[in-house]
Amino acid sequence: MMLNAIQNLPPVQWASHHPRLAAWIVLSVGMVALLVIEARDVGLLPTQWVALIVAAVLVAGACVWIISWEDEDEIEEVEGSESAAASAEAKPGE
């Protein structure tokens, strides 16, 4: 019952429709938070902060994109096995 209530929340529904974008946002927030915590006493200039934050967000996006390659391979395998099963079903009726 509690799980259904969580799944009906608008952010959770949005994340289930856009999983890669949601993963990018979550990973970016985590990476930027760690960056700010670890580099707060370094004495960076504002432009350096902006550059580091932009770089962290882009790296997070690249990570999500690379991880998604495996998802695409799995989809291709499923589609390939479905087409092979369909052609095997068609052959016995020849």
**10-31 tens-digit pLDDT:** 888 888 888 999 999 999 999 9
Residue 30 has what pLDDT?
Answer: 97
Residues of 29-64 as b/e, b for ≥16 C-beta within 10 angstroms?
A: eebbeeeeeeeeeeeeeeeeeeebeeebbeebbeeb
Residue 69 has what pLDDT?
Answer: 87
Residue 37 has what pLDDT?
Answer: 96
| Contact between residue 39 and residue 53 where contact means Cβ atoms under 8 Å apart | no
Amino acid (1-letter code) at residue 83:
S
Q: pLDDT by residue for the chain (94 residues), tens digit each?
A: 677 777 778 888 888 888 999 999 999 999 999 999 999 999 999 999 999 999 999 999 999 999 988 877 676 777 777 666 666 666 655 5
Residue 28, CB-side half-sphere exposure with 13 Å CA sphere: 17
